[in-house]
Amino acid sequence: MSMTFQKECHDHEALGQMRRRLNDLETSEARYRTLFNNVPAAVFQVDASGVESLFLTLKRDGLEDIDRYLVENPHLIELANRSVIVREVNDVAFTLFGAVEVSQLLAPVAYIFAGTPEASARVMSAHFQGRPNHQQRLKIKRFDGRLVDAWLMVSFPQLTSNFDTSVLMITDMTEQVRVETELRKMETEFAHFSKLSVLGEFSSAIVHEIRQPLSVVANDAATASRWLSRSAPNLPKVRELIQRIGESTSHATEVIKRVQDMASKAMPERQICDLNQLVASAIAFTKKEAARRSIGITSKLSAALPKVQADPVQVQQLVVNLMNNAMQAIERSERGPRQIFVSTTVGDCRVCLEVSDTGPGIPEDIADDIFESFFTTRKDGMGMGLSICRTIMQSHAGAISARNVAGGGAAFEVWLPIISAFEEVECPNAIEALSKTCVGIKGG
Ligand code: ADP
């Protein structure tokens, strides 16, 4: 084979290879163009070489905390906004920004960040830290001045790739944001609506709730007036009665305030509470009425009870309700001890309160109904007390249940998650754990 022929063959092969490469490049470019033009998002091809050289200098100088540096040197953000240039855009970008001519878009990136200036710093920070991409929500400012909710995605060139331009993609989020806002509005309305239905229960129950303090007030006022009209008025007794009138009035006022708060969409007043203290004040409130009915109250409160996050007035109301029910039940017992036992204990990620009595207990056939609104077996009952207790517990991620105790009488158990169940990692699945343990327990 002659040398000339060999060379000709070699040239021919090299030419073929070059043609194939060119072909591949053209196909790849065509694919990229199709993607660039047809992707349903605004696409911007951006030349960021201006900031890249700046980044290299800063890195050489040992800069690590870029976020802080940008806060201290805001002019760098402006510089980047001016020196990073959009080189190419697709049709969607035209429509999204409401551009009239392409020169408005093939310009420094400042216009992209005009609606959310802080986004520019975040993009710079991600680029400086060598992240492959960055995404965030932002508002874009169209050329007609209108702000549009959008989602920004930036893909940065990597050192290992030959592609040296950043690509920005922006999608219009107007519809999603509208749906989200609508949903949020519906949620608020729904929350208010469910509060109103609770309020409905409360309004009927307010009669039930304040009837007791009001009758105490009426009785005490009549007794005080009798003591005063005696020839030798018993002033210490009158003072004691007036003090009790004050306490009963405050309790009634608090119940009314709670109903008002609920009506005005106020959030429940959650506080870090000591359940023992709430129980103690409920006992103090009921003690005189219990003594009047010759009923004893025994309490055993755990000394190491973790705190709970609760609305103190609602929880007190719940304990008073259970104690009132216990008193009414004991009244129905003809003989035997007349006692109410109140205890608090610590369980797994929760605290437990139990109110039990020496009454006749809960008849088997009504056990499933006692927590329903308006269910009552009492002549003058309203059937609201236990349904309110259940509503209060549901709003506290807690639970309430009832059972009969050996030897007669009923026991009501109330569980509340302890604070760490929500805030610390030790009990991450407290609510789940609680709902599992509550399966099969009446009351819910
Ligand atoms: P009300 O007290 O107005 O009847 P509740 O919702 O508080 O309404 O109670 C519903 C029913 O549950 C009562 O009528 C009674 O039959 C039963 N109940 C409640 N507490 C006890 C208890 N401690 N012992 C026995 N039965 C009870």
pLDDT category of residue 442 using cuts at 50, 70 and 90: very low
Which of 93, 118, 116 is closest to 39 using CA atoms? 93
What is the model's pLDDT at position 383? 80
Q: What is the pLDDT of residue 441?
A: 29
Kindly give the distance from the C-alpha atom of residue 176 to the centroid of ligand 1, in angstroms, as a whole number. 49
What is 268-444's CATH number? 3.30.565.10
Which pair of structure tokens corresponds to residue 345?
């204990």
Q: Is the pLDDT of residue 147 over 50?
A: yes
Which range is least confidently modeled, 30-44, 60-74, 171-185, 255-269? 255-269
Ligand 1 site, residue 209, Cβ cutoff 6 A: no
Residue 443: pLDDT band with limits 50, 70, 90: very low
Q: Residue 434: pLDDT above 50?
A: no
Question: Using a 6 Å cutoff on CB, does residue 332 contact ligand 1?
Answer: no
Q: What is the pLDDT of residue 188?
A: 62
Q: Ligand 1 pocket, 409 CB below 6 A?
A: no
Pocket probe for ligand 1: among 370, 372, 405, 413, the residue whose CB has the most ligand atoms within 8 Å is 370
pLDDT at 124: 94
Residue 381 Cβ contacting ligand 1 at under 6 Å: yes
Q: Would you place residue 410 in the very low, low, confident or very high pLDDT band (cuts 50, 70, 90)?
A: very high
Contact 356, 405 (CB under 8 A): yes
Asked whether residue 46 carries a pLDDT value surpassing 90, the answer given is yes
Q: Choose between 265 and 118: higher pLDDT.
A: 118
In CATH, 39-172 is 3.30.470.10 = no
Beta bridge partner(s), residue 301: 344
Predicted pLDDT at 394: 84
Distance separating alpha carbons of residues 422 and 408, to the nearest angstrom: 37
The residue that leads in pLDDT, 386 or 425, is 386
Give the residue with greater pLDDT, 304 vs 426.
Answer: 304
Q: What pLDDT score was predicted for residue 374? A: 78
pLDDT at 323: 94
User: Rounded CA gap, 399 and 405, in Å?
Assistant: 19
Cβ(313)–Cβ(391) below 8 Å: no
Q: Is the pLDDT of residue 399 over 50?
A: yes
The response to whether residue 329 sits with its C-beta less than 6 Å from ligand 1 reads yes
Q: Tell which CATH architecture fits domain 178-267.
A: Orthogonal Bundle (1.10)
Please indicate whether residue 377, judged by its CB atom, sits closer than 6 Å to ligand 1. Answer: yes
Question: Which residues, listed in sequence order, are joined to residue 352 by a DSSP beta bridge?
Answer: 345, 415
pLDDT digits (tens, 9 = 90+) for 229-273: 888 888 899 999 999 999 888 888 877 776 666 555 444 567 888
Q: Quick check: 191 pLDDT over 80?
A: no
Confidence (pLDDT) at 135: 92
Minimum-distance ligand 1 atom for the alpha carbon of 381: 3
Rounded to 10 degrees, what is the CA torsion of 274, 275, 280, 283? 160
Does residue 142 contact residue 131 with C-beta atoms inside 8 Å? no
Strand-pair category, 296-301 with 166-172: unpaired
Mean pLDDT of the chain: 83
The residue whose two tokens read 């399966």 is: 439
Query: By C-alpha distance, which of 274, 216, 203 is closest to 250?
Result: 216
For the CA of 355, the closest atom of ligand 1 is 23
Domain boundaries, the chain: 1-38, 39-172, 178-267, 268-444
What average pLDDT score do residues 202-207 get? 64
pLDDT at residue 119 greater than cutoff 70:
yes
Tokens at 115, concatenated: 């609606």
Asked whether 375 lines ligand 1 (CB < 6 A), one says yes
* pLDDT tens, position by position, 329-381: 999 887 789 999 999 999 877 899 999 999 999 999 999 999 987 788 988 77
pLDDT higher than threshold 70 for residue 436: no
